Amino acid sequence: METERLIIDPIRETDQEDYFLNISHDKKVLETFICRYADTLEEFDFSSYPGRRDLFAIRLKETERLIGILSLFDEKDGACEIGYGIGSRFWNRGYATEAVRRFLEYLFREKGMRRVCASFFTGNDASRRVMEKCGMTYDHFTEKELTYLGVERDLTYYAIRRKPEVILLNSLEEPDMNRKALVVIDIQNDITRHYRDILDRLNAAIEWAAESGMEIVYIQHNNLSPGTRTFKPGTKGAELVPELRIVSDHIFVKTKANALTSEAFSEFIRSKELREFYITGADATACVKSTCFNMAKAGYAVHVISDCVTSYDLKKLPEMFAYYSGKGCELRTLAEYQSAGDRP
């Protein structure tokens, strides 16, 4: 197999040193790719690798030296799982994406696969972006699936299916943005502090998501607790702020912090088969926190647009962002999502 810059072929006896340097001795690779570490070339057991039918070298065309590997496993009934690793000296050059795209073409066209999946340690954004650039979309999340390097690891799985007519690389499935939604939480008149600080970016996020084909969802909080005065049903305070851009009629009411407790919203998620959510709004310490936690726990992919989230207490934001990340949520700014081409 070849690409513009790469050759993909079986492991050779002469690959031992490159495999050691770029995979088994590269600690940055081992943080993200499951492999046995070798401290020295002499202790590196390479004997079982050459000729394996489930392990492939990724080589630079200009040198034919191994810079990474692709693996194939769990082949069954037209489905399989793949893995990939690139030596850290060769990161950020597009090699992983180029190799995985060609590998998928091979698996669909020559191996007859109908479905291919891959996983990454939750929070490994670089690996996630490779999968998305190759047309793979979020499939499921498993909590504490394995222990690696002494740490319990959560895994996020992405997958791609071959359409019946697809046999060429440029016809592989594109990410289905209609399975994703931007969620705007509790930007209502009774929010008295700081929402205006994020409003321009929030409206820009709504425009970006709409242009990308995502669903746009607005969550309104109704406070049913006796003795309270804010967010009361039917009051002006419970209405969405007039400056907020409204581009859909997907407006759902909740009475608890977690947006998933809204039956109408949960039914909307099921009917649209939504799998990924981009979270914005308020309050970072309450409703946004609860919604992120429960969405991640339910197995959804959760992305927090960090500069489109606010709190009554701004000093709490760094703590909350660390909390979201610890629960498996991705955090990026709006500009980061809009740029680089790794998102629509």
Q: For 223-248, write each residue's pLDDT tens digit.
A: 998 878 889 999 999 999 999 999 99
Q: How is 110-178 classified by DSSP, letter by letter?
A: TS--SEEEEEEETT-HHHHHHHHHTT-EEEEEEEEEEEETTEEEEEEEEEEE--TT--SGGGSPPP-GG
Q: Whose structure tokens read 């202790």? A: 43
Cβ atoms 93, 86 nearer than 8 A = no
CB-based contact 85:33 (threshold 8 Å): yes
Q: Can you tell me the mean pLDDT for 298-325?
A: 92
27 pLDDT higher than 90 = no
> Is the pLDDT assigned to residue 309 strictly greater than 90?
yes
- Residues 321-329, mean pLDDT to the nearest whole number: 90
- Is the pLDDT at 30 greater than 50? The verdict is yes
Q: Does residue 312 register a pLDDT over 50?
A: yes
pLDDT in tens, 248-274: 999 999 999 999 999 999 999 988 889
- pLDDT on residue 175: 47
Mean pLDDT across the chain: 88
Share of the chain above pLDDT 70, in %: 94
pLDDT of 213: 86
* pLDDT value of residue 192: 62
Q: What percentage of the chain exceeds 90 in pLDDT?
A: 56
In this prediction, residue 212 carries a pLDDT of 84
How far apart CA 197 and CA 161 sit, in angstroms, is: 42
Max mean pLDDT among 2-16, 27-41, 42-56, 166-180 falls in 2-16
Chain segment 126-185, per-residue pLDDT in tens? 888 899 888 888 888 888 788 887 888 888 899 998 755 443 444 444 445 458 999 999
Residue 338, pLDDT > 80, answer: yes
pLDDT of 114 > 80? The answer is: yes
Where residue 339 falls among pLDDT bands split at 50, 70, 90? confident
What is the rounded CA–CA span in Å between residue 312 and residue 286? 10
**Is pLDDT at 340 greater than 60 in this prediction?**
no
Tokens of residue 74, six digits: 């769990």
Note the pLDDT of residue 284.
Answer: 93
Pick from 103-107, 114-118, 146-150, 154-158: least confident: 146-150
pLDDT at 21 over 70: yes
Model confidence at 217: pLDDT above 50: yes
Q: What are the structural domains of the chain? A: 6-171 (3.40.630.30), 177-338 (3.40.50.850)
Number of Cβ within 10 Å of residue 92's Cβ equals 9
Burial bucket for residue 220 (CB in 10 Å: 0-12, 13-18, 19+):
buried
Cα separation, 319 vs 310, in Å, equals: 12
Q: How far apart are CA 83 and CA 73, in angstroms?
A: 8
For 60-82, the pLDDT digits (tens) are 999 999 999 999 988 888 899 99
Instruction: Please tell me whether the peptide bond between 45 and the residue prior to it is cis, using omega within 30 degrees of 0.
Output: no
Longest alpha-carbon distance in the chain? 76
